[in-house]
Structure 1
Amino acid sequence: MGRNADTDGRRLSRRGALSLVAGASLAGASLAAASSLAGLSSCAPSGAGEGAQDGVQEADPVGRAIASLSLEQRVCQLFVVRPEDIVDVGTVVAAGEATREALRRRPVGGICYFGRNLEDPDQVRRMLANVESFSEEAVGLPILRAVDEEGGTVARVASNPAFGVANVGDMRSVGAGGDADAAGAAAETVAAYLADLGFNVDFAPVADVAPAGSVMGRRSFGDDPDLVASMVAAQVRGFAGRGVGCCAKHFPGIGYASGDSEVEPISLDGTVDDLAARELVPFAAAVAAGVPMVMVGHLSCAGVTGTDEPASLSSAVVGDLLRGRLGFSGVAITDSLGMGAVTATRTPAEAAVAALEAGQDLILMPADFESALQGVLDAVSSGRIGEGRIEESLRRVVALKLSLAQPVGASG
């Protein structure tokens, strides 16, 4: 099949629940407010009049947004995939009728784009505007339009001369300058050009503490936990100021882990106290700064979990460490479940089910999306995963989406 036929680049339309959160900031206070709204009941107390019922319903935009979704649609919303995972095209560079039909059939919560999908500014703006429009048509919800744009060696947009934007450079170099304001300015720069293109999520900043020369060496701000923490917090604020959702990664910290999770299982020695003294410091700072999303890595932390399971699939890491110890109430997302650290020991279905059981909200790029989706649907059908567990994550995801609502291509 050739590339998708383009349709008109319709701009984002906001009605109903979205209007209730229009103009919401991405700062921590706003996300907390959205999470609070997500937890409100859509039913008025016994004996309340119709006006009171309407007031409570208006106070629960998340509940209103998801009320009409089928179980299968709700589960689909918990996946972020590559565009090629839902459209039978070698490389997707447009969103046309094939994408519209794909999102009707499989209304995923988000799509992550890579360098091969990004040709020039006009092409990206049309593609992202269309995919947003199709998501609205399918389920009445925005879609997470994500990219990895850290700067330096990981810059899907800035590495392409067609976009005419400067690469802000490796975060190692930024960290070496010791100026947190410079880190914040770099995030603002990246967020501004991403928002202009229509992206609403950037899988950055890297919050890993890493020694020079390691796998994460150039992507990390450095090997000093406090310095990395200050840089990460500044970047969280920088992204928020430009209206782009950011994601601190790779919890609980893979900088000192042995191996490369892209191709093999990796591990990190140490107890919870050991991690708290080094790895967790930047993530705690990110949470305090209001980071809306945290990506959990695939490292094995036997000293924490007592097993060799990846952190991304461990309730001891997602529930006890991230939510419990750090008090994170935003969206938890796995690192790509297509990485060797996961596929070496688990099928796509097994990994997706384990991720939700661990407390993850979003499942990122499984090795086989259809198999992973069916695995979760089967787990819900059998009662292994309760529908309440699905709604818990769905509410967090939709609260995030509504906080990011803005016209596609607007820089805010």
Structure 2
Amino acid sequence: MKILKSACIVLTSLLLSSSVSAQTQAQSPEFLQYEHSTWVDSVMATLTPNERIAQLIMIAAYSNRDDEHRKEILKQITENKIGGLIFFQGGPARQAKLMNEYQAASKVPLLGAIDAEWGLGMRLDTTISYPFQMALGAMQEDSLIYDMGVEVARQIKRVGLHLNFAPVVDVNNNANNPVINYRSFGENKYNVAKKGIAYMRGLQDNLVLPTAKHFPGHGDTDTDSHYALPQINHSRKRLDTTELYPFREIIKAGIGGVMVAHLDIPALDSTGVPSTLSKPIISGLLKEELGFKGLIVTDAMNMKGVTKDNAPGIVDKDAILAGNGLLEFTVAVPKAIQEVRKAMRKGLITQADIDNRCRKILALKQWVGLNNYQPTSLENIIEDVNTPEAKLLNRRLTEASLTVLKNEQQILPLQKLDTLKIAAISFGKKKESKFQKSLSLYAQVDNFNVPNEVTPEQLSAIKEQLNNYNLVIAGVHDHSSYPRNDLKLSSEAQEFLSELIKSKTTIASFFKNPYVMDDVKDIENAEALILTYQDSENSEDLAAQLIFGGVSANGKLPVSVGEKFKSGEGLEVKGGLRFKYTLPEDAGLNSELLYQKVDSLMQKAMDAKAIPGGQLFIAKDQKVILNKAYGYHKYSDTIKVKTTDIYDLASVTKVSSALPSLMKLYDEGKFDLETGIDTYLPYFKNSNKANVPFRQILAHQAGFQPWIPYWKNTLRKNGSYKWHTFKKDSSSRYPVKVASNLWLHKNYQSKIYKAIKESPVKEVKKYEYSGLVFYLLPGIVEKISGEDFVTYVDDNFYTPLGATTLTYKPNNKFSIDRIVPTENDFFFRKKSIHGSVHDEGAIMMGGVSANAGLFANANDLAKLLQMYLNGGSYGGVQYISEETLKEFTKYQFPENDNRRGLGFDKPSLGERTENGNAAKDASELSYGHTGFTGIMVWMDPATDLLYLFLSNRVLPTRDNTRLYSLNTRTNIQQAIYDAMKN
């Protein structure tokens, strides 16, 4: 019975073992199906023994070297019949052209490989660099890494190549690793394996062979195998459980290639030979134990880790004897072939073995399509590897990697902007950084820079100025395009950063290798700490957006940072609070169609001298997809328009000052649409405007006169000013500035009110645009609220929105160089208008009116308008109720053929035309306004679309109406809708 019981136990054990083995058996790489195909057989029949060996050899090629290099590569192809090329530095077009030439010279189509761990940008100029694997290791969405693999595969094939020596699946558990480090997904073996498999599948599903590297694991070393042979002194058990884990998993997942590192690992091979030359490691461990059947590739055979004490050619032969199937970067091809032949004659390796490896190479060539080789097209190759979709993927990967390690009091995203005085300090930058520029899109931010070697005088000046700020945003920048594990900031700069964190409310954004944080004193004590893993345009831009709630963060730290932070830490911060600045494809628009059309229409308008320049702003779903400046301030100017420049908004002031105020007061029950002007201004009680409901007035259906040329009453018949109306100097009697040498009498505004009061009112109530009431609205707002009008709109809207440039009297706040000029006024002010409002009535009101007077750049005005689109909410604040916005922006009297809302313009009723006041495709829910100086703003709730057009078409004269005849503004608006359809 004991014997029978024992036998049953053994049998059960064997069955379980067999079951586990079957479950974990590696998938056979797809390309192996072609090992005995007709094409492979036919090629094999043409190859000599030497040529079969040569198929296992890949040499280095460059597209940024001279003609001598090109001739040397051709010689290797024609004389030695090598099997492939690995391309290093150069450019995509040059490389593709060379590869075409090399393929034409080759007896058998060549395999083309590249190290594209983070995309073609790792080797080629004018191409995309995706985030390094350390950043990808922080991501929680592995599907995005698959998408990256798909896109990298597409780009690799587009430049005529077939192999990517990626992904890196080394577990980086040594912070001092000089060669893997940021190239690894991190220290967590499970995370490394999952992300490595996702990247592998993206490549392999699209017929680019990936190679997992650097087998059996290069993560735990402080030696760079490019310069010496690293030794890893771990037990076999430790290697099995940690270093080998990702390789085992990715092999089970069916990867087609594995690259072997140059390492000395006594637990696996006690002879001290590099793993590349080790039969126990390659044939024993990788092939037999792990069951890998795909292509085994050496690391570069010119690296010191393998060439030290090993002669060229001989070392290549030893790599073949160890079991490798492809030699990368062989430097002595004839010698290598000769040495392998010698080994064959000595019986160290058989012809059958070489043939099997040769067949594997040929099978791979068939799998990638080289059996039907076609030259690579050079047409549009730069554009094809830099598509908008590829760029958007890059931004999505960066955004998904953002990691927040501290967020005390939920300071992120920033709220209550009206309570903040913000200083942005870029450490390690000598001039304004992209980070600082992006921060300034959201609020008033004053910039300071602390270079690596900052002087005591520089620090002293900055410290003194910082007394005026209650929030510091510190960006710690890298000195290199690669996030190396070092810190170049001087001890003085580091100490200053530490002082800031201890003395000020500080948000720190770390644009460096995470390991470096261990050397930065007090960085862990910042109120908020953001880690981006590297310093790039995308990382700086998106970190700034994260701070203000434009984007989210949910990254997790993939490595431990000393005792400060542990792997897996990371807080979630939700975005969507304010604008996200992104690419059109992120909002479902076709960027090529959009940019081409709007740029063309803007250029046409500038060429026709309809406008000297302008700003365009487009946002969909609160995603800013265009914020662009065009042309110049003046036709004869050299000052180019910038997106930060400020334009006179003319009548768009109506929907940007008085209307938000009235809507807020309406919400509070303090303003009634069914009452008249006289309810709030008793001066109008006995006028013909008494009891006319505001609903009719704001809908331009009250019968009011369109406008009154107040300024004409200040001039004599000969054109000179009436002496009692204007003086050249200011005084208590003449306090209203109209121009630098023109001051208006203090009582003249009462004459404007009187003119409005006594103006006629038509009996027939139909749509006729009138701006008269907008001169009165600031006084009405003041009467109801008890506050100064400018203070009211500033405190309730502009400042909390972060709309820094949305202001009256901009020349009191901003440099004149930032303010775009308007008309050369030859009939009233008799000078060029620059820095003050263009509208004569508004300037006679002291520059403050609800009819005109506001200035802004497109970005700041858009914040107010996006708040409307959001149903009255922006930045976490509800300014106006959604119900009130719907009431003010709907058609009020459509039965009377009146297209207006309350103050807002709306699309024409009935059938639309191409020359209408809004795009043909704008919905009936849409609304907006235009301005006399060449402004147009429009919002469409049906598509969540926001459009702003800012220009100074009145320069040099208001008689320039070409902008209207070209219909530029609505044509651009229609182009946006067209781009949404494609």
Q: Same fold (TM over 0.5)?
A: yes
Alignment of 1:10-409 (within 5 A): 31-32=29-30, 34-38=31-35, 59-83=37-61, 91=65, 99-115=73-89, 118-119=90-91, 121-135=92-106, 138=107, 141-151=108-118, 155-157=122-124, 160=125, 163=126, 165-211=127-173, 212-215=175-178, 216-405=180-369, 407-409=374-376
Deviations 1:226-283 (A, max 9, x none): 0000001001111023321111111001111341110111111223322121111111
Question: 2 CA distance for matches of 1:98 and 1:292?
Answer: 30
* Distance change in 2, residues 1:92/1:146 (3 Å): farther
Question: 1 CA distance for matches of 2:351 and 2:39?
Answer: 20
* Counterpart residue type for residue 177 of structure 1: M
The structure in which a higher percent of residues are helix is 1
**Structure 2 contact 80–334 (Cα < 8 Å) conserved:** no
**Structure 2 contact 113–164 (Cα < 8 Å) conserved:** yes
Question: 1 CA distance for matches of 2:269 and 2:308?
Answer: 19
* Distance change in 2, residues 1:409/1:231 (3 Å): farther
Question: 2 CA distance for matches of 1:90 and 1:175?
Answer: 32
**Structure 1 contact 80–112 (Cα < 8 Å) conserved:** yes
**Structure 1 contact 210–217 (Cα < 8 Å) conserved:** yes
* Distance change in 2, residues 1:154/1:381 (3 Å): farther
Any idea what SS the aligned residue of 1:81 has? strand
Any idea what SS the aligned residue of 2:185 has? coil
Please name the residue that 1:51 is paired with: none
Any idea what SS the aligned residue of 2:112 has? strand
**Structure 1 contact 343–367 (Cα < 8 Å) conserved:** no
- Following TM superposition, by how much is the alpha carbon of 1:98 offset from its aligned partner in structure 2, in angstroms? 6.4
Please name the residue that 2:431 is paired with: none
* Distance change in 2, residues 1:201/1:307 (3 Å): same
Please name the residue that 1:25 is paired with: none
Question: 1 CA distance for matches of 2:65 and 2:347?
Answer: 37
**Structure 1 contact 301–307 (Cα < 8 Å) conserved:** no
Give structure 2 stretches of 5+ with no counterpart.
1-25, 378-383, 385-982
Question: 1 CA distance for matches of 2:82 and 2:96?
Answer: 20
* Distance change in 2, residues 1:130/1:37 (3 Å): same
- Residue range with higher mean Cα deviation, 401-410 or 238-247: 401-410
Deviations 1:322-352 (A, max 9, x none): 1122211011011111111111121122211
Question: 2 CA distance for matches of 1:241 and 1:409?
Answer: 21
- Following TM superposition, by how much is the alpha carbon of 1:153 offset from its aligned partner in structure 2, in angstroms? 11
Deviations 1:166-211 (A, max 9, x none): 3111110010123322222222222222211111111111111103
* Counterpart residue type for residue 187 of structure 2: D
**Structure 1 contact 78–394 (Cα < 8 Å) conserved:** yes
Please name the residue that 2:666 is paired with: none
Give the number of the structure with larger relative contact order, counting CA–CA contacts within 8 Å between residues 6 or more apart.
Answer: 1
Question: 1 CA distance for matches of 2:52 and 2:296?
Answer: 17
**Structure 1 contact 225–281 (Cα < 8 Å) conserved:** yes
Question: 2 CA distance for matches of 1:101 and 1:258?
Answer: 39
Question: 2 CA distance for matches of 1:186 and 1:36?
Answer: 27
Any idea what SS the aligned residue of 1:269 has? coil
Question: 2 CA distance for matches of 1:286 and 1:102?
Answer: 34
* Counterpart residue type for residue 186 of structure 2: G
Any idea what SS the aligned residue of 1:149 has? coil
Any idea what SS the aligned residue of 2:81 has? coil
Question: 2 CA distance for matches of 1:315 and 1:230?
Answer: 29
* Distance change in 2, residues 1:92/1:75 (3 Å): farther
* Distance change in 2, residues 1:102/1:356 (3 Å): closer
**Structure 2 contact 176–221 (Cα < 8 Å) conserved:** no
Question: 2 CA distance for matches of 1:92 and 1:390?
Answer: 35
**Structure 2 contact 55–83 (Cα < 8 Å) conserved:** yes
Question: 1 CA distance for matches of 2:159 and 2:64?
Answer: 23
Question: 2 CA distance for matches of 1:389 and 1:133?
Answer: 29
TM-score, normalisation: structure 2: 0.34
* Distance change in 2, residues 1:367/1:233 (3 Å): same
* Distance change in 2, residues 1:409/1:152 (3 Å): closer
Question: 1 CA distance for matches of 2:116 and 2:228?
Answer: 24
TM-score, normalisation: structure 1: 0.78
Deviations 1:304-338 (A, max 9, x none): 11221111111111112111222110110111111
**Structure 1 contact 83–92 (Cα < 8 Å) conserved:** no
Any idea what SS the aligned residue of 2:228 has? coil
Q: Which has the larger radius of gyration?
A: 2
**Structure 1 contact 318–360 (Cα < 8 Å) conserved:** yes
**Structure 1 contact 199–408 (Cα < 8 Å) conserved:** no
- Following TM superposition, by how much is the alpha carbon of 1:29 offset from its aligned partner in structure 2, in angstroms? 6.8
- Following TM superposition, by how much is the alpha carbon of 1:408 offset from its aligned partner in structure 2, in angstroms? 4.8
* Counterpart residue type for residue 377 of structure 1: R
Any idea what SS the aligned residue of 1:279 has? helix
* Distance change in 2, residues 1:130/1:319 (3 Å): same
Question: 2 CA distance for matches of 1:69 and 1:152?
Answer: 34
**Structure 2 contact 119–128 (Cα < 8 Å) conserved:** no
Any idea what SS the aligned residue of 2:195 has? helix
Please name the residue that 2:872 is paired with: none
Give structure 1 stretches of 5+ with no counterpart.
1-27, 41-58
* Counterpart residue type for residue 35 of structure 1: L
Count of equivalent residues: 348
- Following TM superposition, by how much is the alpha carbon of 1:403 offset from its aligned partner in structure 2, in angstroms? 0.7
- Following TM superposition, by how much is the alpha carbon of 1:36 offset from its aligned partner in structure 2, in angstroms? 4.8
Any idea what SS the aligned residue of 1:278 has? helix
- Of all paired residues, the percent bearing the same amino acid is 27
* Counterpart residue type for residue 303 of structure 2: M
Question: 1 CA distance for matches of 2:120 and 2:225?
Answer: 17
* Counterpart residue type for residue 77 of structure 2: L
**Structure 1 contact 264–341 (Cα < 8 Å) conserved:** yes
Any idea what SS the aligned residue of 2:177 has? coil
**Structure 2 contact 121–129 (Cα < 8 Å) conserved:** no
Question: 1 CA distance for matches of 2:257 and 2:338?
Answer: 25
